[in-house]
Amino acid sequence: MSAPNRLAQWIYRHVPLINSEVSLLIAIFALLLSNVAFLGGLGVHFFGMDIKEMAYVSFWTFDFCLLGMYITPWLKLPALAHYTTHQRFTFMIEIWVWVYVLIALTYEVPWIFGYSQMAYAEDELWAYPWWSYIQGGDIRYLYVEKHVLFSEVWACVNATIAAFGLYFWYKSKRTSVAAVFILMLADAGHIAPTVQYYALETFHHFPNVDVANPHNFWGKFIFSNCSWLIMPFVTLYWGTKALPRLYGVVKD
């Protein structure tokens, strides 16, 4: 057995929740996603790195990890060999819902309750994750207007609804019709504020987006935000496929 295979087998035996190459991949992406802000904060505050450059690294890392997690259910991996197309589709939707629920709980909820204090904490390590986003090209989160605050509150409400949906979904062992409707409802709620964000920026000629900077325009504005525009429609489509199966009308 090769060294990488031995390492993988050791991880499967000793690391909780990681028992296959699928969960290992998801864990790697999640670890990168959850630690990029922490590592960036250390780099900026202790090693003199530029906060904007670190913000751009965070945007692209975020984009890469999201795409990697979305693709994982569709890979030809041994642990997924017996998955049907619909099961792979469901797996991808579950990943997406987990992503936005956790982002809301760890990033957006703290911002809602502490944005006024964060405005005066530019040089504080604890405020780095939010100031990184501001310095990376979204000044809206420093001089907060009501529509921005409303969008963030709305996103957190949707995430809370989705968290209940996930609870009922797993409690029922993926058989709850109500859970599917809840997840569809929560995702539908993401569409309007995301459309508002893209529409306002475009209509006002991108006052908060540096269109000449590919890191700011593509890395943040397009790729870091587009999941909240695209994946809700994907989730709604998934719901139209999941419900007939749960009702027994369609069988795999």
pLDDT tens-digit series, residues 86-116? 999 999 999 999 999 999 999 999 999 999 9
CA distance 144 to 139: 8
How many C-beta neighbours within 10 Å does residue 85 have? 10
- Residues 6 or more apart whose CB falls under 8 angstroms from that of 79 comprise 20, 21, 22, 23
Encode pLDDT of 29-52 as tens digits.
999 999 998 999 999 999 999 999
The chain-wide mean pLDDT, for the chain, equals 92
pTM for the full predicted model = 0.93
Token pair, residue 28, equals: 């790697």
Write out 31-92 in H/E/C secondary structure: HHHHHHHHHHHHHHHHHCCCHHHHHHHHHHHHHHHHHHHHHHHHCCCHHHCCCCHHHHHHHH
Tell me whether residue 78 is exposed, middle or buried, using C-beta atoms within 10 angstroms of its C-beta: 0 to 12, 13 to 18, 19 or more. exposed
**Rama region for 158: left / alpha / beta (φ>0; ψ in -120 to 50; rest):** alpha
CA distance 134 to 75: 36
Please state the separation of Cα 46 from the chain's center in Å. Answer: 28
What average pLDDT does this structure show over 137-146?
A: 87
Confidence of residue 196 (pLDDT cuts 50, 70, 90): very high
Residue 136 has pLDDT above 90, yes or no: no
Query: 48 with 74: CB under 8 angstroms?
Result: no
Q: How confident is the model at residue 1 (pLDDT cuts 50, 70, 90)?
A: low
Q: Are 179 and 97 in contact (CB under 8 A)?
A: no
Tell me the domain boundaries of the chain.
Answer: 3-246
132: its two tokens: 């990184």
Provide, rounded to the nearest whole percent, the portion of the chain with pLDDT above 90. Answer: 80
pLDDT of 133 higher than 70: yes
Rg of the chain over CA atoms, in angstroms? 20
Non-local (6+) Cβ contacts of 209 within 8 A are 137, 138, 201, 216, 217, 220, 221
Q: What are the phi and psi torsion angles at 59 (to 5°)?
A: -60, -50
Mean pLDDT within 68-97 = 96
* Structure token pair of residue 159: 């995430």
Residue 84 reports pLDDT greater than 70 = yes
Q: Is the sign of the CA dihedral 231, 235, 240, 241 positive or negative?
A: positive
**What's residue 5's pLDDT?**
73
From the list 159, 182, 18, the residue with the least C-alpha distance to 98 is: 159
Residue 118 to residue 129: CA distance in whole angstroms: 10
Tell me if 37 sits within 8 A of 54, measured CB to CB. Answer: no
Q: What is the pLDDT of residues 149-161, one digit of tens each?
A: 999 999 999 999 9
